[in-house]
């Protein structure tokens, strides 16, 4: 026997496990109008209310180590790997030997994700709770899901029903590949344009507006059969530090949080959100002056979230491997303190076995009471009962392709994406004129890496009769590459500059690189120019010479197709920005073209 691995104790009989999930369906409640739902969709599931007596019977059968393990969720890529691969061997150890309660699955194709989840479910002593970061649709983590705009793009369309449809389709596709819990929607207000990590992940900056979209998304997720998570409590939108790298601090007091940041989280609770994810940010005014991450604060997770807001669901940490946590107090101590603060699910510890051991020691030495441990494990087991995995833990891999990115889902997503397009300014009437008749245009796309930004836009404009010269530039072009772009611009009466700046962890900033901003500014000064952002909406402040500005929100082929239809007059432009955009654009600015007065 390997002395480094725990001894496995007998698990409950199958009869107990079956009984856990055989409760009546929970009544659905709603305080917002839901989107159209004309017929059942393949893959939709029903969440059920667990029978607490049988959950408790299961709980009583577990050892302390098994209980602790139920709270730990490591992260795993969803690519296809054979059992002998080192990464898969580690995952099998997590599941078989350490008996973790769940897995966070990440990037892979739908079939590969489904295969890997099934392989691990077959090995797990208790069924695994599978989670994924499906923000604004499954494509954030799944290579071939239904693509939606970012959450901010969805709100730009002006219809909470679109957030509902995004949530429902996300749920159906997620359940089809074996995912039960999504760490979405983002309930933060992106009130700081320099926020490097939230940005377009938020629905906007207005608390009442964001609340409507958050609630609609949660209702859609529930109707599609997946458990939802509002994040990042109590609000990560007004920071300029990436918590993946260091600990951000917000000095605002209770009045500010009570009237702004907490408003969407209250709406999420009212809508029946299943879980909350904590933010790795310091909030001294809410934490008796302490400068520690909210994830480690009893005042925030217990005092504010549980006691003041009355949240009774599951509390999940953000990743415990992030710099804002791991660098401050050590990885294992962070796990224990996060649990003491009020967390239930302990996500992505640096070392899974060490994290479990640290928690077991804390229980055995009396630092954590068995009653407190049982309360969290009971919530996790109840979650598992709600999604029915005690009776059916495997999914039908052969049905995945019939559900994920189905023609019906793609049609809905295209409509949502088209509504999301925002024309922020058109000072020379360039967009309006371009919509009137095909013209010759120079399309210059500037993007990092190998991305083919502009390909679909060029193809679709040509199909609409436009003569397009497409030049793809790297962010630091050579003299010859820049000369080619300038030649194309000078030969056409209209220039389209396409760029994409995406939020991202471990960068510590957001926005165009200064050299790229200078390049675009100089190119835009040569001819009437339409700047198109397929990412952050704030880049217009870095390219002041662009006379027109369109926002497409996401670097996807579907978003490019929507911009092509908007520029060619094949679709109306109706979106408005759900944020203020410096230097001078107010909340809900948007020029509408092609609409009926």
Q: Find the domain containing 361 and state its range.
A: 64-403
Q: Is residue 17 part of a domain?
A: no
Q: Is 180 a catalytic residue?
A: no
Distance CA 72, CA 344 (A): 9
Question: Do both 426 and 509 map to the same domain?
Answer: yes
Q: Encode pLDDT of 349-381 as tens digits.
A: 999 999 999 999 999 999 999 999 999 999 999
Tokens of 383: 């979650």
**Is 0.85 topped by the overall pTM?**
yes
Question: Do both 250 and 342 map to the same domain?
Answer: yes
Question: Do both 495 and 371 map to the same domain?
Answer: no
Residue for token pair 């949660």: 218
Question: Do both 303 and 358 map to the same domain?
Answer: yes
Question: Do both 71 and 204 map to the same domain?
Answer: yes
| Cis, bond preceding 453 (omega within 30 deg of 0) | no
Question: Do both 112 and 171 map to the same domain?
Answer: yes
- DSSP-derived letter for residue 56 is H
Tokens of 321: 């491997």
Q: In degrees to the nearest 10, what's the CA dihedral of 542, 543, 545, 546?
A: -140
CATH of residue 341's domain is 3.20.20.300
| pLDDT value of residue 241 | 59
Q: Is residue 583 part of a domain?
A: no
Q: Is 223 a catalytic residue?
A: no
CATH of residue 558's domain is 3.40.50.1700
- Rounded alpha-carbon distances, angstroms, from residue 343 to 70, 182, 189, 359, 368: 13, 17, 23, 13, 13
Distance CA 495, CA 550 (A): 13
Q: Within 10 A of 32 (CB to CB), how many other CB atoms are there?
A: 19
Write the CB contacts of 146 (distance below 8 Å, at least 6 apart in sequence). 137, 138, 139, 169, 170, 173, 404, 405, 406, 409, 410, 412, 413
Q: Encode pLDDT of 313-331 as tens digits.
A: 999 999 898 766 766 678 8
Question: Do both 440 and 382 map to the same domain?
Answer: no
State the DSSP H helix or E strand holding residue 442, giving kind and residue range, or none if neither: strand 440-446
Report the domain count for the chain: 2
Question: Do both 339 and 304 map to the same domain?
Answer: yes
For 486, counting Cβ atoms within 10 Å of its Cβ (0-12 exposed, 13-18 middle, 19+ buried), the class is middle
Q: Give 274-333 as a DSSP string.
A: -EEEE---B-GGGTTT--SBGGG-HIIIIIIIIIIT---SEEE-S-TTSHHHHHHH-HHH
- Report yes or no: 78 and 105 within 8 Å, Cβ to Cβ: yes
Which residues of the chain are modeled with pLDDT < 70? 1-44, 52, 83, 240-246, 323-324, 326-328, 449-451, 503-509, 596-597
- Report yes or no: 300 and 286 within 8 Å, Cβ to Cβ: yes
Q: Within 10 A of 213 (CB to CB), how many other CB atoms are there?
A: 30
Question: Do both 244 and 363 map to the same domain?
Answer: yes
Question: Do both 428 and 553 map to the same domain?
Answer: yes
| pLDDT value of residue 19 | 36
| pLDDT value of residue 494 | 98
Question: Do both 121 and 239 map to the same domain?
Answer: yes
Q: Encode pLDDT of 28-76 as tens digits.
A: 333 333 443 333 334 567 787 777 678 999 999 999 999 999 999 999 9
Question: Do both 379 and 451 map to the same domain?
Answer: no
The catalytic position among 274, 318, 332, 344 is 318
Q: Is residue 48 part of a domain?
A: no
Q: Is residue 461 part of a domain?
A: yes
- Report yes or no: 221 and 167 within 8 Å, Cβ to Cβ: yes
- Report yes or no: 286 and 310 within 8 Å, Cβ to Cβ: no
| pLDDT value of residue 79 | 85
Q: Is residue 477 part of a domain?
A: yes
DSSP bridge partners of 314? 275
Q: Is residue 162 part of a domain?
A: yes
Q: Is residue 578 part of a domain?
A: no
The catalytic position among 244, 274, 280, 332 is 244
Tokens of 423: 């024309």
Q: Is residue 579 part of a domain?
A: no
Task: Give the residue among 53, 50, 9 at the shortest CA–CA distance from 390.
Answer: 50
| pLDDT value of residue 24 | 29
- DSSP-derived letter for residue 541 is G
Distance CA 76, CA 69 (A): 16
């Amino acid at each position: 026997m390997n002395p480094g691995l725990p001894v496995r104790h007998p698990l409950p009989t199958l009869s107990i496990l079956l009984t856990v999930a055989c409760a009546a369906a929970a009544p659905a409640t709603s305080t917002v109008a839901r989107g159209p739902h004309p017929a059942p969709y393949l893959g939709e599931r029903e969440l059920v209310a667990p029978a607490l007596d049988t959950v408790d019977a299961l709980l009583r059968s577990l050892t302390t180590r098994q209980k602790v393990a139920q709270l730990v969720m490591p992260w795993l890529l969803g690519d296809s790997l054979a059992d002998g691969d080192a990464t898969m061997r580690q995952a099998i150890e997590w599941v078989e030997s350490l008996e973790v309660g769940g897995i966070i699955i990440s990037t892979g194709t739908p079939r590969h994700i489904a295969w890997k989840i099934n392989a691990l479910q077959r090995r797990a002593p208790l069924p695994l709770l599978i989670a994924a970061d499906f923000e604004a649709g499954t494509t954030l983590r799944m290579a071939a899901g239904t693509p939606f705009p970012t959450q901010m793009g969805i709100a730009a369309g002006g219809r909470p029903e679109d957030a509902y449809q995004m949530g429902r389709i996300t749920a159906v596709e997620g359940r089809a590949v074996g995912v039960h819990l999504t760490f979405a929607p983002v309930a933060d207000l992106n009130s700081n344009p320099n926020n490097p990590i939230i940005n377009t992940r938020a629905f906007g900056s207005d608390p009442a507006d964001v609340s409507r979209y958050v609630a609609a998304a949660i209702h859609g997720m529930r109707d599609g059969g997946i458990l939802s998570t509002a994040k990042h409590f109590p609000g990560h939108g007004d920071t300029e530090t990436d918590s993946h790298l260091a600990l951000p601090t917000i000095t605002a007091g209770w009045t500010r949080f009570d009237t702004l940041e907490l408003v969407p989280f209250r709406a999420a609770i009212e809508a029946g959100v299943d879980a909350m994810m904590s933010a790795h940010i310091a909030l001294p005014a809410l934490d008796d002056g302490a400068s520690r991450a909210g994830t480690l604060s009893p005042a925030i997770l217990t005092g504010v979230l549980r006691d003041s807001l009355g949240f009774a669901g599951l509390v999940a940490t953000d990743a415990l491997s992030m710099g804002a946590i791991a660098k401050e107090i050590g990885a294992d101590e962070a796990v224990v303190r996060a649990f003491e603060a009020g967390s239930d699910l302990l996500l992505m510890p640096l070392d899974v076995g060490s994290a479990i051991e640290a928690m077991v020691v804390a229980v055995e030495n009396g630092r954590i009471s068995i009653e407190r441990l049982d309360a969290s494990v009971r919530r996790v087991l109840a979650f598992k009962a709600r999604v029915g995995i005690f009776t059916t833990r495997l999914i039908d891999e052969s049905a995945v392709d019939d559900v994920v990115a189905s023609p019906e889902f793609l049609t809905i997503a295209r409509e949502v994406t088209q509504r999301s397009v925002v024309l922020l300014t058109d000072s020379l009437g360039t967009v309006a004129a371009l919509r009137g008749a095909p013209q010759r245009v120079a399309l210059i796309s500037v993007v990092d890496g190998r991305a083919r930004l502009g390909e679909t836009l060029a193809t679709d404009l040509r199909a609409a009769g436009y003569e397009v010269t497409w030049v793809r530039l790297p962010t630091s072009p050579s003299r010859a590459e820049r000369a080619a772009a300038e030649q194309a611009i000078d030969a056409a009466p209209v220039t389209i500059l396409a760029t994409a700046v995406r939020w991202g962890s471990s960068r510590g900033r957001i926005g165009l690189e200064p050299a790229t901003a200078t390049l675009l500014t100089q190119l835009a000064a040569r001819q009437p120019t339409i700047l198109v952002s397929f990412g952050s909406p704030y880049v217009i402040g870095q390219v002041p010479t662009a006379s027109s500005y369109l926002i497409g929100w996401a670097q996807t082929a579907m978003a490019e197709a929507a911009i092509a239809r908007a520029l060619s007059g094949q679709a109306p432009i109706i979106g408005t920005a759900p944020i203020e955009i410096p230097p001078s654009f107010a909340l809900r600015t948007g020029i509408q073209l092609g609409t009926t007065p």
